[in-house]
With several copies, the nearest count.
Chain A
Amino acid sequence: MTLEMKSIFNNELDHWTLEVQGEIDVFTAKNLREEMIRIFSEKQKDIILDFNKLSYIDSTGLGVIIGAYGRMKEKGNHLIIVNAKQNVLKLLTITGLDKILIRNTF
């Protein structure tokens, strides 16, 4: 039940990478929401969510991501998830979010 986040802006590729470590759940999801809002208002660019070190996500976490996706889409920006583990990928697939948040190439 801990969530650590590291946001780095990649000048070369002109996007944010937000690396998430731990668990996104009903207790920690608000921290992800705040961090996504913070970086997107700092620099209104695409965001890559790196889920390499994410061990768990629940529907409140997915809700936060859907919210950010919607707000960013309005402004013409992309939100993309990379490196999701099997269990996280399963939830993205069940909910159809893989279709809009995961791309083979960016």
Chain B
Amino acid sequence: MADLLKFSIPGKPEYVGVVRLAVSSVANRAGFDIEAIEDIKVAVAEACNNAILHGIHDNCCNYEVVFTLDEKKLTIEIDDNGRGYDTVNYQEPDLSNPKEGGLGIFIIKALMDEVQINSNTGKGTTITMTKYI
């Protein structure tokens, strides 16, 4: 049976470091190698950034990070009840013309094996990412 870990974290930049440490520890426990642990840490942190910067208004609320861990894979869901957005209009960054923003989701997709985003304007966003062991 899969193990489930759930973290509820204040939507403030100063707590993303707590999540990063916890993620590393869970991924380490899952048996990933150092590079994969780093990938997972970065991807989860990017999703936390998005929850904080785009989802949640003015530090108002917490967001959730949920880990599901079995022998084959680690799945992580980052869930905010924030603004939400229209995922259909998402545009990949043009790497030949770097801009200050717009790299987060691109990085997540590059580092994880599966990524799925579910967002509803006004209701919030859930991003689910999986890495196979």
Asked if B110 CB lies within 8 Å of chain A CBs, one says yes
Contacting pair A63 B101 (CB below 8 A): yes
Main secondary structure of the interface of B (DSSP, over half): helix
* A64 CA / B100 CA spacing, docked (Å): 7
Interchain CB contact under 8 A, B16 and A25: yes
By a CB distance below 8 angstroms, the chain B residues around A64 are 100
Tell me whether B17 and A59 are in contact (CB under 8 A). no
Set of chain A residues within 8 Å of B127, measured between Cβ atoms: none
CB-CB under 8 A from B53, the residues of chain A are 26, 60
> What residues on A are CB-neighbors of B93 within 8 Å?
95
* In the complex, chain A residues whose CB is within 8 Å of the CB of B52: 26
Q: Is A97 an interface residue (CB 8 A)?
A: yes
Q: Counting CB contacts under 8 A, is A23 at the interface?
A: yes
Q: Do B106 and A95 touch across chains, with their CB atoms under 8 A apart? A: yes
Count of A interface residues, CB-CB < 8 Å: 25
- Determine which residue in B16, B46, B52, B106 has the highest number of CB atoms from chain A within 10 A of its CB, and name it: B16
For residue B27, CB closer than 8 A to chain A, the reply is: no
Query: Cβ of B45: which chain A residues have Cβ within 8 Å of it?
Result: 25-26, 58
Alpha-carbon gap, A100 to B98, bound state (A): 10
For the complex, would chain A's binding face be called helix, strand, loop or mixed by DSSP majority?
helix
Does residue B103 face the partner (Cβ distance < 8 Å to A)? yes
Q: How many B residues touch A, CB cutoff 8 Å? A: 28
Contact of A96 among B14, B96, B100, B101 (CB under 8 A): B96
A25-B45, A27-B14, A58-B46 given as contacts; is B107 within 8 A of A69 (CB)? no
Residues facing A in B7-65 (CB within 8 A) are 13-14, 16-17, 20, 29, 35, 38, 42, 45-46, 48-49, 52-53
In the complex formed, the residue of B with least CB distance to A101 is: B98
Complex alpha-carbon distance, A1 and B13, angstroms: 10
Q: Are A91 and B16 in contact (CB under 8 A)?
A: no
**Is A62 a contact partner of B103 (Cβ separation < 8 A)?**
yes
Closest A residue to B16 using CB positions? A26
Name the CB-closest residue of B to A23: B17
Q: A27–B49 Cα gap in the complex (Å)?
A: 10
Starting from the known contacts A26-B45, A58-B46, 9 additional A-B residue pairs (CB-CB under 8 Å) come to A1-B14, A25-B45, A56-B20, A63-B100, A63-B101, A67-B100, A91-B42, A91-B107, A100-B98
Q: Name 22 interchain pairs, CB-CB below 8 A, sorted by A.
A: A25-B13, A25-B49, A26-B13, A26-B45, A26-B49, A26-B52, A27-B13, A27-B17, A56-B42, A59-B46, A59-B49, A59-B104, A60-B49, A60-B53, A63-B103, A66-B98, A66-B99, A70-B100, A87-B38, A87-B42, A94-B106, A96-B96
